[in-house]
Structure 1
């Protein structure tokens, strides 16, 4: 993957990934719930994302409907790999230790983490 979405592009992609597809108005309304942004800003951003290949635009109806042009899991893996590499020197352990030290995981979260670690360990055996 050569395309690295910006923070604001990721916000839009999150909405599209969640909904499957959406119009500019739908994306703008959801963005406006958490930040002060204008409709034309959202429109322009989505047009740029379409040009970059981040979004696919269906132009069959009067209202253009957008869907994701990139896969959510592939994007997450790519961004995480880059983040771990640049921020934690490639160390997954340092990332996990930092993440767990930032808050207090619930008992349920710790159980899920243990189960995941057991699963990883069993794959390597």
Structure 2
């Protein structure tokens, strides 16, 4: 999602209200180590505790990179270009790390703004 913003062409995909679950790479690695070190079993959702909408995530990317967020991408265009894979971007998915949190894991980057500032090296 970052590339279009780097080229000043970022914006909402469809209506932008589709939910996105995400996780910072450092929290992903830490969560895996937490599960391993505590010998936890079962299925865990490895996502940050605060899913966002595509519109919100796009605005945070734009803000972090100091770029605009106004080039609307129609769902039909994505479906034409990506085929069935477009569903991953246009439908979204809202997932919570309930089980991971209940086993004492604490996120270093719980929100998208903090994560993107770190990943894009744009610390405030």
TM-score normalised over the length of structure 1: 0.24
Structure (1 or 2) with the greater strand fraction: 1
Greater Cα radius of gyration, structure 1 or 2: 1
Structure (1 or 2) with the greater helix fraction: 1
**Whose relative contact order is higher, 1 or 2, with alpha carbons under 8 Å and at least 6 apart?**
2
TM-score normalised over the length of structure 2: 0.24
